[in-house]
Amino acid sequence: MALSGLDIYKQLPKTNCKDCGLPTCLAFAMKVATKQVGLEACPHVSADAAAALESASRPPIQLVTIGEGEAEIKVGNETQLFRHEEKFHRPTAVAVRISDLDDEQAITDRAAAIGRLAFERVGRQIRVNLVAVDNESGDAAKLENAVKRAAEASGLACVVMSAKAENLRRAAAALSGRRPLLYMTDPAEAEAAAAVAKDENCPLAVRADGLEALAELSSKLAVLGVEQLVLDPGTRGLKPTLEALTAMRRLALKNFRALGYPALAMTAGDDPTMQVVEGCTYVAKYAAVLVTDASEPWQILPILTARQDIYTDPQKPVAVEPRLYSVGAVDGDSPVLVTTNFSLSYYSVESEVEASRVPAHIIAVDTEGTSVLTAWASDKFNAETITKALRQSGLEERLSHKRLVIPGFVAVLSAGVEDESGWGVEIGPKEAAGLPNYLKKQQWNRPA
Ligand code: SF4
């Protein structure tokens, strides 16, 4: 349960000494409550008060770390049921499964391909995070060999899946220093797997059939001292898994501690399209770790796209730096396009300019990350802001022309921009997709 500013204030020294950089203890408490500063910024909080605040403000879902170094990923620590209430904090770790029944070369090739499952989208890289090695053979030596190959070839952290605790022990030893997620698939072996996880300092995933059994199991494991825990409700298939994941999140947010751990979901079945549907659904609600057989780029991209969209902060539009950009070998005759600094708008324009092969300058106007029409409607994309960005770009001194292309949707701005800037304004296409044709057909089409 989140603490209010007053709850926090009661535990502070109330001396208003300003050592935290804020004028009063109350101001500090308010900042801590809204997570703008950490409690550690006050050097005078007593140990007892810090402990009380820490346990009361402990997130309802445990933070779990998988992997080490560059391959490390953290899951959990979520505080909301709906992202618009604040935001979701830790994007789902996507794991692609490999069977240890495959031959050695097939395991290496598949792991290498999984390691390459990365894409550039709206200026950010999105990628698969984990390789999951499934001990379908039941053989410890095969699992050990497979996890070594998978880790090396993919460069990713591992999920090691087995129904035998001793096989997990051997695989964990083989991955020493890589902190794999040990996934015990047989509830009867969960306590033995807990001993392995503690010995090897690894996070542990366990499954049980149904939420009651899962809560009972996690409580037993907590008594054994295993806190780095991930829970699989044991359901397979879209409807029961979605229901279980939603119930787990709701109960965790009501401080039902036995289910206050990150959830693991698996896509089921061989239908490649349904694997994508399931993957996107579980990313949206509320898997912290997704294990899937989907491994083709056309399957993974929609899952990662859903994840990227859901885990952005809904209160902060994804924006690029507002400035001048150049695409291709621009010179003094190149066209000048204006758009807003909303990432999707900017990257749509940039990719279409690239496709046109007509080098161009692009001015991303500071509209606080809003799109062309939204910014126009809120008066952030107007003659003044466009002219200001044009002046700041320094293009006037570098170009042989004074012509500016504005988006077709805001053609109404043309006269104002001409008056304000003294530049000639041309009306571009309404959609970025029309830019290649527009640039080629206009006088900007110059020989290479
Ligand atoms: S440093 Fe601590 S005691 Fe001093 S004003 Fe800030 S919150 Fe209060």
Residue 86 pLDDT greater than 90, yes or no: no
pLDDT one-digit tens code per residue, 111-166: 999 999 999 988 889 999 999 999 999 999 999 999 999 999 999 999 999 999 99
**Residue 445, pLDDT above cutoff 60:** no
Q: Is 17 in the pocket of ligand 1 (CB under 6 A)?
A: yes
Query: How far is it, in rounded angstroms, from Cα 61 to Cα 52?
Result: 18
Residue 29 Cα: closest atom of ligand 1: 7
Asked if pLDDT for residue 1 goes beyond 70, the answer is no
Q: What's the 337 CA to ligand 1 centre distance in angstroms?
A: 51
- Condensed to tens digits (0 to 9), the pLDDT of residues 391-442 reads 999 999 999 999 999 999 999 999 999 999 999 999 999 999 999 999 988 7
Nearest CA to ligand 1 atom 7: 25
Per-residue confidence band for 297, with pLDDT thresholds at 50, 70 and 90: very high
**Looking at residue 49, what is its pLDDT?**
87
- Taking residues 213-234, report their average pLDDT: 96
**How buried is 195 (Cβ within 10 angstroms: 0-12 exposed, 13-18 middle, 19+ buried)?**
middle
Helices (H), 58-139: 104-115
Judged by average pLDDT, the poorest of 53-57, 77-81, 325-329, 431-435 is 53-57
44 lines ligand 1 (CB under 6 A): yes
Work out the average pLDDT over 294-320.
93
**373 pLDDT exceeds 70?**
yes
Domain coordinates in residue numbering, the chain: 5-56, 64-310, 324-441
Please, which pLDDT band fits residue 313 given cuts at 50, 70 and 90?
Answer: confident
* Torsion sign, CA atoms 136, 137, 139, 140: negative
Answer yes or no: is the C-beta of 398 below 6 A from any ligand 1 atom: no
- From 28-42, 253-267, 275-289, the region with the lowest mean pLDDT: 28-42
Is 46 touching ligand 1 by the criterion CB < 6 Å?
Answer: no
| Atom from ligand 1 closest to the CA of residue 19 | 1
Q: For residue 4, how far is its CA from the centre of ligand 1 (angstroms)?
A: 17
| Peptide bond connecting 282 to the previous residue in cis, omega within 30 degrees of 0 | no
Q: Is the CB of 13 under 6 A from ligand 1?
A: yes
| Ligand 1 atom at shortest distance from the alpha carbon of 24 | 5
Question: 278 is written with which tokens?
Answer: 């399931």
CATH code at 324-441: 3.40.50.11600
| Phi, psi at 42, each rounded to 5° | -100, 115
Residue 345 reports pLDDT greater than 80 = yes
Whether ligand 1 lies within 6 angstroms of the CB of 25 is answered as yes
Residue 93 DSSP one-character state = E
Query: For position 447, what pLDDT does the model report?
Result: 45
State whether the beta carbon of 190 lies less than 6 angstroms from ligand 1. Answer: no
Q: 7-22, pLDDT tens digit by residue? A: 899 999 999 999 999 9
203 pLDDT exceeds 50? yes
Q: Note the CATH number of domain 64-310.
A: 3.20.20.20
**Distance between CA atoms of residues 345 and 270, nearest Å:** 37
- Atom number in ligand 1 closest to CA 17: 4
CATH architecture of the domain 5-56 equals: Orthogonal Bundle (1.10)
The average pLDDT across 30-52 equals: 85
Mean pLDDT of the 38-60 span? 82
Among 8, 18, 31, 42, residue to substitute to test ligand 1 (most atoms within 8 Å of Cβ): 42
Q: Which of 367, 370, 312 is nearest to 121 (CA)?
A: 312
Is the CB of 19 inside a 6 Å radius of any atom of ligand 1?
yes
Which atom from ligand 1 is nearest to the alpha carbon of 18?
5
Domains 64-310 and 324-441 share a fold: no
* Residue 61 near residue 260, CB atoms below 8 Å: yes
